[in-house]
Amino acid sequence: MRNLTVYALFAVTTILLASPAWSQATWEGPTGVFLNPLALTVPNGTWQASAHYLNLQPAGALTTFGVTYGADSRWEIGATYTSLAVGGGQDAVLLHTKYVVLPFKGDWPQVAVGAIVRDPSGGDATEDFHAVATKVFPGSTPVIASLTVRNTNGLGSGLFGKASSRTTELGGFLGIQATPKIIVGVEYYEQPTVSPWQDIAVRYIAGPHTFIDAGYARLNAAFDNQIAIGLTQQW
């Protein structure tokens, strides 16, 4: 009986981890929430297109467009274009990749490593290297928890240039699948030299491969509280 129970929990959690609802694009492109990547990848052979808009009034706005491909069951690669209409900010082309090094097994979280390289117009390139552990707790209301450790030399994730030295920052996400179509969560995302970025995020599962995100963010004291929206389509 115990072995049957363990197998059932494993099967349920594996289904949840494989669900496209959990594996969508961050604003920079890797599979995740708004800010943090998750230790999940786009399904093998699947293309994913995404667009995000973040209102940074009174300073301007951030718009991104990205595409990601599931190269196999553990590996994704992609590219994103970011346009920042804020004084001192830079548009950029981002290349990103992520690989699952420890798939879900038993009580252990799934673990992935990844990298983001940003090539801004008129500025120095910046790079992030991250490791992320993600675990789904199954139940009538599934819970997902994730922790990210990243090494970066980008100011504001590269939006505001290159830092003088690399630093190691933490991030995390805690969410629940409140209904079969709605996921709600909170994020924390440390940045060099400034206060951590934070948000409350809601994901609506509009269809089997179409997802809409909305968020209320606090990125910088110089901006008002920000509203963000995102759209992801897989095929």
The pLDDT of 186-210, averaged and rounded, is 93
The CA-CA-CA angle for residues 195, 196, 199, to 5°, reads 125
Cα dihedral across residues 62, 65, 36, 98: positive or negative? negative
Please report, for residues 70, 77, 83, 130, the alpha-carbon distance to residue 222 in angstroms, rounded to integers and kept in the order given.
38, 34, 19, 27
What pLDDT, on the 0 to 100 scale, is given for residue 98?
98
- The structure's pTM equals 0.88
pLDDT by residue (tens digit) across 71-108? 999 999 999 999 988 776 778 999 999 999 999 988 89
Cα dihedral across residues 156, 158, 160, 166: positive or negative? positive
Amino acid at 166: R
User: Average pLDDT, whole number, for the chain?
Assistant: 88
Higher pLDDT, 8 or 64: 64
Which residue is listed with tokens 């959990």?
22
What pLDDT, on the 0 to 100 scale, is given for residue 6?
32
CA gap 143, 135 in Å, rounded: 8
Is the pLDDT reported for residue 11 higher than 50?
A: no
Give the model's confidence band at 163: pLDDT under 50 very low, under 70 low, under 90 confident, else very high.
very high
What pLDDT, on the 0 to 100 scale, is given for residue 57?
74
The pLDDT of 180-206, averaged and rounded, is 94
Class (C level, CATH) for 2-234: mainly beta
- Say if CB 221 and CB 232 are below 8 A apart: no
Please report, for residues 21, 34, 35, 98, 146, the alpha-carbon distance to residue 151 in angstroms, rounded to integers and kept in the order given.
27, 19, 15, 15, 17
Which residue is listed with tokens 């490791």?
131
Minimal CA–CA distance to 60: which of 32, 82, 33, 37?
Answer: 82
Amino acid at 46: T
pLDDT-above-70 percentage for the chain:
88
pLDDT by residue (tens digit) across 107-120? 899 999 999 999 99
Burial readout 165-190 (b: 16 or more C-beta within 10 A, e: otherwise): eeeebebbbebebeeeeebebebbbb
pLDDT by residue (tens digit) across 12-24? 333 344 456 666 8
Is the pLDDT reported for residue 159 higher than 90?
A: no
Is the pLDDT reported for residue 38 higher than 90?
A: yes
Give the model's confidence band at 123: pLDDT under 50 very low, under 70 low, under 90 confident, else very high.
confident
